[in-house]
Amino acid sequence: MPLKENRNVILHDHNHDGVDRRGFLKCMAWAGTGALCVLQGGVLKSYALHDPSGVHKAAKGDLSFVQISDSRMGFNKAANPDVIATLKIAVEKIRALPVPPEFILHTGDITHLSKPSEFDTVNQILQSAPTKDVFFVPGEHDVLEDNGKQYLELYGKNTKGAGWYSFDKKGVHFIGLVNVMNLKAGGMGSLGTEQLEWLEDDVRHLSKSTPVVVFAHMPLWNVYPEWGWGTEDSAQALSYLKRFGSVTVLNGHIHQTMQKVEGNVTFHTATSTAFPQPHPGAAPSPGPMKVPAEQLRGLLGVTDVNYVRKHHALALIDSTLD
């Protein structure tokens, strides 16, 4: 896996080298200007991406899209009193990409308190993005009080159940999952039986060479169960994806970049456009992390994803708002 110093570059190339990575666990994460990686035995370490010299690597692929997450419109506390400004900067970053993205994925927590005005502000800011195609999944902050009714009215067209759906772009199968509903006391994220059955059916007829991208708000792997950073029944969902050669899982929720490669599956969490959260266990709670103002933008960002057809590989490039 090539890593370049001073660059926020990640390249996962599942099929190119023919290495069977099943059962082999590896964590890759980036800190500052260097790359910190390697991990064994399932213990994950996470490091923030705050490289001010991080630059976009304009990968020439068949398909490129951008992931943004956790815009938390309405948040106004010390960790970031101006989440409007940082979301606008994220959109500017997307506009500045050398290759305009085909579409944008927003992996939830669009708002802080599910207020109509908060959804409206985000939608207005995204109007200036270089693509009008934005695909959403809800975060727990988008379905407060009304069990997701408002969210479905706004974004639920052509979705099933609580808002899950799939679509195809240039040979890649995308699946948006909802894991923030009906959470149980003491538990983590949850997909539920109905959604799992739908997922099993949704991928049944795909050929195993189809690249699959799954996106959901909460991590679909156990990042840190002590803080609820995971999804109770994600293993069941992933079991339906085992036969595929390339599976990429994109999540938000934890407001920091984290990577894991396990077998044929690459997991990736994106930074927030609003405020950072502490590394797992590094603070008494996962609440917003207050950092000096000059450091904030280095801890927020967007993720640019490129798909190169001939290699069946997805390249993820995280970029900070610096």
Q: Between 18 and 186, whose beta carbon lies closer to other proteins?
A: 186
Q: How many residues bind other proteins (CB under 8 A)?
A: 24
State which of residues 12, 93, 106, 141 lies at the interface with other proteins (CB under 8 A): 141
Residues in region 75-94 near other proteins by CB under 8 A: 77-79
Yes or no: say if 202 and 196 are a contact pair by the CB < 8 Å rule.
Answer: no
**Is 291 among the residues that bind other proteins (CB under 8 A)?**
no
Among 54, 138, 278, 288, binds other proteins (CB under 8 A): 288
- The answer to whether residue 187 forms part of the interface with other proteins (CB under 8 A) is yes
Task: Annotate 243-257 with DSSP letters as a single string.
Answer: T-S-EEEEE-SSSS-
For residue 183, the Cα-to-chain-centroid distance in whole angstroms is 20
Q: CB-wise, 140 or 304, nearer to other proteins?
A: 140
Q: CB atoms < 10 A from the CB of 52, how many? A: 13
- List the one residue out of 134, 8, 131, 132 whose CA is nearest residue 71: 134
- As beta bridge partners, residue 269 has 251, 258
d(CA 289, CA 297): 13
Sole window of 4-12, 47-55, 222-230, 258-266 interacting with other proteins (rule: CB under 8 A): 222-230
Cβ-Cβ contacts under 8 Å for 154 (sequence gap 6 or more)? 119
Given 31, 144, 206, 291, the residue binding other proteins (CB under 8 A):
144
Q: In the complex, what is the shortest distance from the CB of residue 129 to other proteins, in angstroms, rounded to a whole number?
A: 27
**Binding segment toward other proteins, per CB under 8 A, in 54-62, 184-192, 236-244, 292-300:** 184-192
Residue whose CB is less far from other proteins, 93 or 255: 255
* Token output for 189: 């994220």
Tell me if 184 contacts other proteins by CB under 8 A: yes
- Tokens 């900067």 label which residue? 89
Stretch binding other proteins (CB under 8 A), from 40-48, 54-62, 137-145, 207-215? 137-145
Across 128-149, b (16+ Cβ under 10 Å) vs e yields: ebeeeebbbbbbbbbbeeeebe
The residues that touch other proteins, with contacts defined as CB under 8 A, are 77-79, 112-114, 140-141, 144-145, 183-188, 226-228, 284-288
